[in-house]
Each structure stands twice: as structure tokens, then as C-alpha cells.
Amino acid sequence: MLGHPPDRDQLYLVTVRCLTDIYAQGMVWWQAALWALAGGVVVEGLEFAALQRRHHKWPWEVDAEVVRSDSTAAGPLGYFLGELVRLATGGILGAALAGQITGPLAALAIGAAAPAIAGHLGVYVPLPPAAPQANPATTIGSSPDDKACPGNNGSLPPKPDQPGTPASEPLPQREETA
């Protein structure tokens, strides 16, 4: 004899245990990396389609028009390398976050948002202090524009404790009323 069929509570517990076992572990790292890579491809494809619709040119040709005349545009190889780095960033972040990702949609979103995520993480990387450089163009009176300003003879402004400056004169006392 087989016994009684399981009631609703037993079926619910079995279903919850199965789903918990599936989703509590996160994704395998290579699956998360591939889904994140796909998210990056989707975003880049949408940007490429919008650029083609707007300018009817390749992306590196549009960039060449915007660049100043004294510098050079990246060109096709530079554009390709930039896209490759962007997609690799998405894949690496997807693999790194695989333990926290429970499904493909989250991994796809990480790949799509990879540049923003990496940019925010890059803020925390300490940079070495820059060496101070003396720039003669930033000193007062050394620029031709400084002498062209009315009232500027190339000298420094008066110090606050010198007579005639607002900081050197005492403030008037307020009379107290009772």
C-alpha cells in the first residue's frame, strides 16, 4: 500500500528546499562571467546602433571629428581595444561576484553596469602624491593678461593687517539696549 498522498504543507516544504538548494549557492564563476559578458555586449550593441543611426559613420570616425587638431583620434585599433577592455571588465566583475549572483539577469546587469562599477571601485585606489611643479604662468603679475587688468600693476594684494584694508580696521561696537 502506497499510503496517503502528500498534503499541501509537505509539497510546499519540498519545493522550498529544492529552490533554496538551487539559488542559495550562487552561480558558477564561468557562467556568471559569460552572462556578464553578454550584458556588456548588449550595452555596446545598443550604443553602436544609436551611433550608427545618428551619424551614419563608424565610431572611430565620429571620434576623429571631435578631437582637437593638435592630438590624434584612437582609430579602429584603439576603439577595438577599448571595447575589449570594457567587455573584459564586465566578465571579470561577473566572475568575481559569482558567489553573490543567483541568476542570469543579475549577471547580465553587472556586465551592463561594469564601467560604472569599476569606476566607483577605482576611486578607492590610492594614488601617489604629485610632485609640486613651479609654473611661472600662475604667479601674479607674470602673465601679460595680469598687467592688462585695470588696477593691477603686477604687485601682490595688500595683507589684511596693513592700514586701509577692511580686516585691519576694528569692527564698530554695538550698543546694547536694555
Q: Is residue 165 part of a domain?
A: no
Nearest residue to 95 via CA among 26, 20, 45 = 26
Q: Which of 23-37, 40-54, 74-88, 130-144 has the lowest mean pLDDT?
A: 130-144
Domain count, the chain: 1
Cell, residue 136: 611661472
Q: Is residue 45 part of a domain?
A: yes
Q: Is residue 99 part of a domain?
A: yes
Q: Model pTM?
A: 0.53
Rounded CA Rg of the chain: 32
Q: Which residue has the higher pLDDT, 123 or 48?
A: 48
Q: Is residue 56 part of a domain?
A: yes
Containing structural domain, residue 46: 27-119
Q: Is residue 42 part of a domain?
A: yes
pLDDT at 39: 94
pLDDT at 91: 93
Q: Is residue 64 part of a domain?
A: yes
**Considering the chain, what is the average pLDDT of its residues?**
75
Q: Is residue 110 part of a domain?
A: yes
| Helix H or strand E encompassing 175 | none
Q: Is residue 19 part of a domain?
A: no
Who's near 140: CB < 8 A, 6+ residues apart? 146, 154, 155, 156
| pLDDT tens track for 23-71 | 557 788 999 999 999 999 999 989 889 988 988 888 777 766 666 666 6
Query: C-alpha angle with apex 43: 41 to 48, nearest 5 degrees?
Result: 90
Q: How far apart are CA 114 and CA 123, in angstroms?
A: 14
